[in-house]
Amino acid sequence: MSIRARLLLSYILMSFLPLILLAITLYLILNAFVGDFIGRYHLDFSDNKNPFKVIMTEQKEVFTDMKLQASTDPDQLLNPSLLDSWESQLNPINMSIVLQKNNQLVYASPSLDQTEVAKAFDSIEMPGSFVDYFYISNNYTFQYKDLSEGHLYIVTDIGPLSEYLGKYLVISLLLLIAIILLTNGVLTYFVFRSTVTPLQKLRRAVDQIKEGDLDSTVHFQKDEIGGLFQAFEEMRAQLKHSKAVQLQYEENRKELVSNISHDLKTPIASIKGYVEGILDGVADNPDKMDRYIRTIYAKTKDMDKLIDELFMLSKLDMGKLPFYFEKVNINKFLEDCTEEMQFVLMEKGINLTLELSTSEPVLIKADREKLKRAISNILDNAAKYMDKEQGIVQIRLQDEGEWVHLQIEDNGQGMREDELPHIFERFYRSDLSRNSETGGSGLGLAIVKQIIEEHGGEVQAASEAGVGTRIWIRLRMVMPHE
């Protein structure tokens, strides 16, 4: 059940359960009250009788007799035998007689509390329906033979009814409080189980992350709070990944420092040796001096290139190398690159060719300078590992749907299958000796990979030892509507 459904159920319980329980309670109390009332006032509902009609009929008959007596011989109203006769008729229907003479109580039924009757009827001037705890069903004013004013009342003692009402009112209030507490408990249980318990679980998971434990997963249901748990779980996975990446970066940094130290130490040692040779007078003729100077120059040029590649790779890592994207006709762009690189490769005995699938313009979004750097790095790599007398490098371009596929293939020495997964790693060289004379800096293809990925593309390689290497670059085309 979702948290929304649980809260809705809690709302319904909070809204309607008290009413339902209160209705049931009131029904039970009313039944008990009616039972007490029927027992106290001797009501008979059997045989479809209307007890109230029976009561009214009986008390009307008695009241008629009493009025007739008061009209003919009022003094006889105080006749004990006559009063007992009327009492015997009124007692079963819980009614009583009260007589006054000159506003003074002269008779009250034995079933009534004489003190309460005297108090209630003591100062009565114009009686209404109720006098304190007495309900006046009928009253009649007459004159005794001595011309004193008399009052005749048929009353019902409602004192017990007041007691019942008070008793059941207290019971009702207590039950109402119990209902509210019960409903609140049910609501609290639902809310606690739906929200507080999952949040406590989430708190424990946060504490685990705070302590460095990123491996403990959090199980969740598919509800609103489950969405929060899912976001938390995604955050935990991202933190775990970030931590792993950070550790990998740290390892890469250590390896980078080690590799830089190695790659800089070798040419510096060579330069130092040649400079010492010059200072010691070993280069004692112009030809030898020229050879020493040229070697020093070549080594410093290699160092400058290595530093330049390190600088570019560092900027790419930090995202501080700006890319200026524009619409580029890749056909024309490759023609210019091929024309520029042909002369360099031709001097090394390598024939560079370009094959386009169409003469129509094929547009991509690219940074001309960075993309040219990537292609140059691939071609330089092909030249370094060329071991054939007649080297061949072919560039092929094909457009497939929304993508442009650029393939650069050479017939160089190639690589073993176990080397392929590593060629785009930094400082990786296929030769185990890490000889910079033959293997370069090991940064060229790493730079290619990052440049292509910044273009939203991807780069892959395939190779066969002794046959050659193929590198594919995949870039997205610019659609006509863009």
Strand pairing of 350-356 and 391-400? Answer: parallel
pLDDT in tens, 33-91: 566 655 655 555 555 556 667 677 787 888 898 889 888 888 888 888 888 898 888 88
pLDDT at 366 over 90: yes
What is residue 89's predicted lDDT score, i.e. its pLDDT? 86
pLDDT tops 60 at residue 231: yes
At residue 9, the pLDDT reads 59
Per the model's pLDDT, the better-predicted residue between 143 and 250 turns out to be 143
Percent of the residues in the chain that have a pLDDT greater than 90, as a whole number: 17
**Higher local confidence (pLDDT), 251 or 373:** 373
Res. 368 pLDDT band, cuts 50 70 90: very high
pLDDT band at 434 (very low <50, low <70, confident <90, very high): very low
How many Cα atoms sit within 13 Å of 352 on the Cβ side?
25
Beta-sheet strands, E only, within 316-402? 326-329, 350-356, 363-366, 391-400
How far apart, in whole angstroms, are the C-alpha atoms of residue 18 and residue 239? Answer: 48
Q: Which of 133-142, 257-266, 355-364 has the highest mean pLDDT?
A: 355-364
Report, as an integer, the average pLDDT of 144-160: 83
Q: Is the dihedral of CA 198, 199, 204, 208 positive or negative?
A: positive
**Residue 43 confidence (pLDDT):** 56
Q: Report the distance separating Cα 6 and Cα 181, nearest Å.
A: 19
Helix (H, G, I), strand (E, B) or coil at 212: coil
Contacts within 8 Å (CB) and 24+ apart, 109-118: 111/157, 112/155, 112/157, 113/157, 113/159, 116/159
Tell me the pLDDT of the chain averaged across its residues. 79
pLDDT tens readout for residues 285-327: 888 889 889 989 888 888 887 788 777 777 877 777 888 999 9
